[in-house]
């Protein structure tokens, strides 16, 4: 008996619509968030993440409405984020129906935000998202912020450690090198972080085949794996993916 590895579907939204892109750019419409959420719940996804990639202040009410409509469809946990900069932002997201909050750039710019959020909601509700990009010059992973545009001049491993010390209950680790490429998760990155921090790590970026998921669980030591477009456009069914993982000795949950 053990904890199942989680399959998480991610809805990147621009206001009221789900969008998808390659390398954090080139967005196109991928559907209605509530419809997709209902489908994933029924198909056996273990969790849903909604990320507001626009994250501009004037779109805030639309995003909160999106969280409400997604939460209304789910009988599984919901994580929401994108543009959360304060306790008040986080409260409105939780009130709209999110079980967990994810923070990225704002936590890098002002790390005590993590402590504030875990103090209010508990560390199990605070997911620190880290966008990682490999730097050849230093042979290490650099933390990227503002949707991946800028370097934070921070080492991913040290930032992950610091985030956990400050109260993060989970790390959502995205490989910017792999994101949108469908060439597989970054196993070296995932393994380096997941084996070093005492909290669960969600691997993200690059998933296409069931084999990619099996590899990130077995070799990458990921606790959960996240993908977006392969689920949105039905390239990969969640049930089919879980059957493959189970047949490869990886414990996953099948809904009754």
Partner 1 sequence: MTIAVIDYGAGNVPSVERVLERLGAASRRACRPAELALATAIVLPGVGHYAAIIRALDERSLRAPLLDAICRGVPFLGVCLGLQALYSSSDEAPELSGLGVLPGRIRSLPHDVKLPHMGWNRLRMQGASALLQGLCESDYFYFAHTFAAVEPIDATVATCEYGTPFTAVLERGRLFATQFHPEKSGAAGARLLHNFLRLAA
* Piece of the chain touching partner 1 by CB under 8 A; list 17-25, 53-61, 81-89, 92-100: 92-100
Return the residues of window 204-243 that contact partner 1 according to CB under 8 A. 223-224
Return the residues of window 9-68 that contact partner 1 according to CB under 8 A. 41, 46
- Does position 125 interact with partner 1 (CB under 8 A)? The reply is yes
Q: Distance (Å, rounded) from C-alpha 222 to C-alpha 230?
A: 19
Q: Catalytic one among 41, 131, 142, 223?
A: 131
Question: Residue-wise over 106-123: b if at least 16 C-beta within 10 A, else e?
Answer: bbbeebebbbbbbeebeb
Alpha helices in the chain (DSSP H): 33-43, 60-71, 87-95, 105-109, 112-121, 156-166, 187-194, 210-218, 229-232, 238-247
In the residue annotation, 131 being an active-site residue is answered as: yes
In the residue annotation, 223 being an active-site residue is answered as: no
Nearer to partner 1, 60 or 253 (CB): 253
Q: How far is the CB of 161 from partner 1 (least distance, A)?
A: 14
Enumerate the β-bridge partners of residue 101: 80, 126
State the DSSP H helix or E strand holding residue 178, giving kind and residue range, or none if neither: none
Residues that bind partner 1 (CB under 8 A): 1-6, 41, 46, 71-72, 75-77, 95, 97, 99, 119-125, 169-170, 198-200, 223-224, 253-256
Catalytic residue numbers? 12, 131
């Amino acid at each position: 008996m053990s904890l199942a590895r989680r399959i998480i579907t991610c809805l990147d939204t621009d206001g009221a619509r789900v969008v998808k892109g390659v390398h954090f750019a080139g967005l196109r419409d991928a559907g209605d968030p509530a419809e997709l959420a209902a489908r994933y719940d029924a198909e056996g996804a273990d969790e849903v993440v909604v990320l507001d990639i626009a994250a501009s202040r004037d779109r805030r009410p639309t995003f909160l409405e999106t969280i409400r409509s997604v939460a209304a469809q789910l009988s599984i946990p919901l994580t929401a984020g994108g543009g959360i900069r304060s306790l008040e932002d986080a409260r409105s997201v939780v009130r709209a129906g999110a079980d967990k909050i994810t923070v990225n750039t704002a936590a890098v710019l002002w790390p005590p935000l993590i402590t504030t959020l875990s103090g209010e909601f508990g560390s199990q509700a605070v997911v620190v998202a880290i966008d990682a990009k490999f730097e050849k010059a230093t042979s290490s992973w650099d933390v990227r912020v503002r949707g991946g545009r800028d370097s934070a001049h921070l080492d991913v491993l040290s930032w992950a450690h610091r985030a956990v010390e400050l109260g993060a209950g989970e790390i959502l680790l995205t490989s910017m090198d792999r994101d949108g490429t469908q060439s597989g998760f970054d196993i070296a990155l995932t393994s380096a972080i997941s084996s070093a921090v005492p909290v669960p790590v969600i691997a993200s970026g690059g998933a296409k085949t069931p084999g990619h998921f099996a590899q990130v669980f077995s070799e990458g030591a990921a606790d959960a794996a996240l993908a977006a477009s392969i689920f949105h456009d039905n390239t990969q069914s969640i049930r089919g993916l879980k059957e493959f993982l189970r047949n490869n000795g990886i414990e996953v949950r099948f809904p009754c």
